[in-house]
Amino acid sequence: MKIFKMLLVLLFSAVFLVACSDDEPDTSLTDGTQTAASGINDASTSGLNNGSGLSGSEMGGSGSGSGMYPNAGMGPEFSDPNNPLSKSTIYFMLDSSQVQDDFVPVIAAHAQYLVAHPSQHIVLEGHADERGSPEYNIALGEQRAKSVANMLKVQGVSEGQLELVSYGEEKPAAFGNDEASWERNRRVELRYQQGR
């Protein structure tokens, strides 16, 4: 009973203390977070609408999933399976940015075309598989794009015709968490700037 009374006193003094301090820490915290939260709401709409093309940018001709012959608009040779120009993706081994022998003729065909068409521009999109750290994979994808660019330049393509971008693991061509998907994702895609 004595303990109970003591507890009662403790309880009242605790509540009293809080009441006396006018809930200061709590009010300020609640108010502060409320403002911040509604602020973020605004950001979401203004970010969405005024984001200088952030949400309005178009998919365009690049990116994975644009069919078997993404450069088909360049001419019939780019969709003729017997012509190396129809091949527009260079695949890489794990953790490697070295071009494998199989793809040397493909790159040579594109080099010849670019040398013959000096006003033509090409984007080299580097990609990595999903394993490991995303920003490190951006660097890996860029190394792959650079080794293709170097082979093109050695064969006479001018620097000004080339544009490099690395998407790392952010734009997979295959979405599985398995070796078959990873092989398809370690790649450089060659995308002609059509209509330029």
Partner 1 sequence: MAIFRKILFIGLLGFYLPLSYAELTIEITQGIESGASVAVVPFASQNVPVDISFVVNADLAGSGYFKMLNPQNMPGRPTTAEAIRFPDWQAINQNYLVIGQVNEDRGQYNVQFQLFDVANGGQMLGYRMTSSASDLRRTAHHISDLIFEKLTGKKGVFSGRIAYITTTTQGNKRTHQLQIADADGFKPQTIATSPEPIMSPSWSPDGKRMAYVSFERKSAAIYEQTLATGQRTKIAEFPGINGAPAWSPDGSKMAITLSKDGSPDIYVLNLVTRSLIKLTKSFAIDTEPTWSPDGSQIVFTSDRGGKPQLYITPSQGGQEKRLTFSGSYNARGSFSPDGKNIAMVHGNGNDYRIAVMDMSSRSINVLTAGPSDESPSFAPNGSMILYASKKGGSAFLSAVSIDGKMQQKLGFSNGDVRDPAWAP
Question: Residues in the site for partner 1, rule: CB under 8 A?
Answer: 3-4, 7-8, 10-11, 14-15, 18-19, 23, 26-27, 29-30, 33-37, 39-48, 50-51, 53-55, 57-60, 62, 65, 123, 130-136, 138-140, 142-143, 163-168, 170-171, 175-177
Within 10 A of 110 (CB to CB), how many other CB atoms are there? Answer: 26
By DSSP bridging, strand 162-168 and strand 122-127 are: parallel
**Which of 123, 157, 159 lies closest to 142 in space, CA to CA?**
123
Q: Provide the minimum distance between the beta carbon of 157 and partner 1 in the complex, in angstroms, as a whole number.
A: 17
Least Cβ distance, residue 84 to partner 1 (angstroms): 26
Residue with tokens 């509540």: 15
Minimum Å gap between C-beta 26 and partner 1 is 4
Size (the chain), residues: 196
Q: Which C-beta is closer to partner 1: that of 89 or that of 112?
A: 89
In angstroms, rounded to a whole number, what is the distance separating the alpha carbons of residues 64 and 173?
Answer: 6
Q: How far is the CB of 25 from partner 1 (least distance, A)?
A: 9
